[in-house]
Amino acid sequence: MKAPHPDSFFIGQAFKERFYAALAGQERTAHLAAIALAGWICQLPVLDLLSETSSKGTEPMEQAGGISIHAVDVSTGRVAAGLKVELLRLEPSQALVATGEIGSNGLLDHPSARGEGVVAGFYEVRFDLGDFFARAGREAPFLDSVPFRFHVRNAAEHYHLPFKFTPYGFSLFRGA
C-alpha cells in the first residue's frame, strides 16, 4: 500500500475541523456534514496524484502542454460527437496542427492535446456547425463555420478549449 502524501494530514485536518464545526454550530445538518466529509475524503487521493513520478521513477510528472478541445451541443445537452474541428497555427509559421471529429467523450482525440505540434504562437480553431447540424437532420443553423483565434504564450502550459454551442450562439474560453 502506498504511503499517504505528506500534506494529507494537514489538508485532512482542515476538512476535519470544518466537519466538526458544521456539526457543532448552527449549520447542524446532514447535508453540510456530508459535503464536508466528502470533501475531506475526495481531497486525499488528489494529493497522491500530485506526487506520482514519471515512468523513469525519478522525476516528478509535469503537466504536458497541448491544446485540448471539448464540444457540447447545449441545445440537446449532449456532447457533439461527429463535429468536425480544425486547429491551425497562424504564427510563427502557418500549419494545420490538427483535424478530426469530436469523439463520443466530447473530446478531439489528437496528439496536439498532448502537446505534439504545439509551439508558442497565434492559433485558430474552426468548428463546422453547419455540417454537424445537417448530418443530424436538424434545421440549418444561424451559425455555419465558427472560427476562434487565440494565443499560446507558453507551449509548456495546457490550453483547454471548452466549446458550448446551440444553432444560434456559442461560448468558448480557456478552461482548466
**Class of residue 161 by CB neighbours under 10 A (exposed 0-12, middle 13-18, buried 19+):** buried
Cα of first residue to Cα of last residue in the chain, in angstroms, is 31
**Domain 66-172, CATH class in plain words:** mainly beta
Closest residue by Cα to residue 120 from 86, 160, 87, 150 = 150
Q: Is 66:112 a contact under the CB 8 Å cutoff?
A: yes
d(CA 79, CA 103): 8
- Express each pLDDT in 55-110 by its tens digit: 344 443 444 699 999 999 999 999 999 999 999 999 999 999 999 999 999 999 99
> pTM to 2 decimals?
0.64
pLDDT digits 0-9 by tens, 39-66: 444 443 433 333 333 334 444 344 469 9
pLDDT-based confidence at 139, cuts 50/70/90? confident
